Amino acid sequence: MPSLAEQHRAVREGSGLRDRSDLGKAEAEGRDRASFLQGMLSNDVKALAPGQGCAAAFLDAHGKVMALLRVYALADRLWLELPPRLTEKTLQLLDKYLISEKVSFEALDEAYGVLSLQGPRSQALLEGLAGMPVPAAAHAHVEAVLGGIKARVIQRSEFGSLPGYFLWVAPDDAPALTQALLEAGALPVNEEAAEVLRVESGEPVYGIDVDDSVLLPELRREDLISYTKGCYIGQELVARVKYRGHVNRALAGLRLEGDAVPAAGTPVMAEGKEIGRLTSSARSLALGVPIALGYLRREHLEPGAPVAVGGGEPLIPARVAALPFV
């Protein structure tokens, strides 16, 4: 396995590979699939043509996040990419809203493996294997044959603005495709390196930085929301925050002094009071300092604002940072 620095550099400058088969996967079929999910999710699913996709959130009636997901439109179905271990729960929640709509859902967790190829050289690497162009637009996807192996190639970044692809493939073909990608120049990336890259990119993950206690506007992720599509579950709260109010806290970045990397759950302090808590942290290889994600009171969200991190003495000096860090 390459060193942590080599893995990090591969994703930032070349192409890094890891297995993401742990992701939840499902599909929706039936003539009402798009219209039904249009009323369930925060983004405009109905506008998707085959070969397109989008990021979205599934909320409860109070605007709290039940799942963060991606929707991919195929000619006769919609694929859903879900957080790990959340497929069955999400499908059960969606099923409660089904009345007479012609739509059925099926879990695909075991039906597909997913390989993640991330970095600026990933597109050229895939096109070399496929002998054809692969999509460059976010969430666009196409079926391709990579080194003799059929896969759905999806333009999907794991790390913010860095280019990348998810490859949905038959599970039995995943090892051979992995080998083909490594032989073509990708470097393997482990979970430690991926976590550093994720935090640097300011990407919140469901189950770590987000759960069903978080309001969608607290994420400050406009790419998850359509304000023109009409009603969906939780839409009233999202619209009210957008046009008439604010949230009391929101996700922010923190750049810390010193060498210590505090754990998730560590309090963030200002003026002698707790103003938030960390959700993720890492030592940034790009910046050379500890960084973190966490929710802060809205009065302290301005980039550059001084804060401190810790549950006792001595506190670690820090400053609020705009996201992404890198």
pLDDT (tens digit, 9 = 90+) per residue, 21-38?
999 999 999 999 999 999
- Average pLDDT, integer, range 228-248: 94
pLDDT (tens digit, 9 = 90+) per residue, 153-212?
999 999 987 899 999 999 999 999 999 999 999 999 999 999 999 999 999 999 999 999
- Average pLDDT, integer, range 57-77: 98
Is the pTM above the cut of 0.85?
Answer: yes
- Average pLDDT, integer, range 279-289: 97
Supply the mean pLDDT for the chain.
Answer: 96
The pLDDT, as a whole number, for residue 245 is 87
Closest CA to 187 of 196, 178, 195: 178
Is the confidence at residue 256, as pLDDT, over 90?
Answer: yes
- Are 218 and 298 spatial neighbours (Cβ–Cβ below 8 Å)? no
Confidence band of 1 (pLDDT split at 50, 70, 90): confident
**What is the token pair recorded at 244?**
């008439």
In CATH terms, 4-21+112-200 corresponds, of 3.30.70.240, 3.40.50.460, 3.30.1360.120, 3.40.1410.10, to 3.30.1360.120
Closest CA to 20 of 82, 92, 88: 82
Distances in whole angstroms, Cα of residue 119 to Cα of each of 12, 17, 54, 125: 6, 9, 20, 10
Confidence band of 43 (pLDDT split at 50, 70, 90): very high
Is the confidence at residue 47, as pLDDT, over 80?
Answer: yes
Is the confidence at residue 64, as pLDDT, over 90?
Answer: yes
Q: Which CATH superfamily is domain 248-326 in?
A: Aminomethyltransferase beta-barrel domains (2.40.30.110)
- Are 81 and 25 spatial neighbours (Cβ–Cβ below 8 Å)? yes
Residue extents of the structural domains in the chain = 4-21+112-200, 248-326
Domains 4-21+112-200 and 248-326 share a fold: no
- Cβ-proximal residues to 160 (8 Å cutoff; 6+ apart), any chain: 201, 202, 203, 324
Confidence band of 313 (pLDDT split at 50, 70, 90): confident
- Are 193 and 7 spatial neighbours (Cβ–Cβ below 8 Å)? yes
> What's the order of all strands across the beta sheet hosting 16-19?
141-146, 149-155, 164-169, 113-118, 16-19, 187-188
Angle at 67 between CA 79 and CA 223, to 5 degrees: 80
